[in-house]
Amino acid sequence: MRYTADHEWVRPLGEDLVRVGVTGYAAGQLGDVVFADLPAEGAEVTAGRAMAEVESTKSVSEVFAPVSGRIAAVNGALDAEPQRVNSDPYGEGWLVEIRVADSSVLRAALAGMMEVAAYEASTGT
């Protein structure tokens, strides 16, 4: 798993597919998540641009695409249970899966993201 400076985690699921969510640190900072506005399956997303919003009792936060590609799957369970983002951010609280067109571009993008120790150091956790 890799981490972005914007507090998203990225888990490779294959040569051209990743699962994305917000980190436990981000979920804690957000407070109780009450709604997740996720992109539609098939939508194109661009690395570094907002692709979703997570609304909590404290605020609304944008979630940025860690890679460019097409949304392959959306966690529909969050419609009924958005609090999964808080209770299980790395499991049942995932947001989307993104399929990239070029696996070499994905490998390069992942190589540029933080590993767990670097991410924890960046958040002071």
pTM of the model: 0.95
Residues 27-36 have pLDDT tens digits of 999 999 999 9
Q: What structural domains and CATH numbers belong to the chain? A: 2-119 (2.40.50.100)
Q: Is 108 helix (H, G, I), strand (E, B) or coil?
A: helix
Asked whether residue 98 carries a pLDDT value surpassing 90, the answer given is: yes
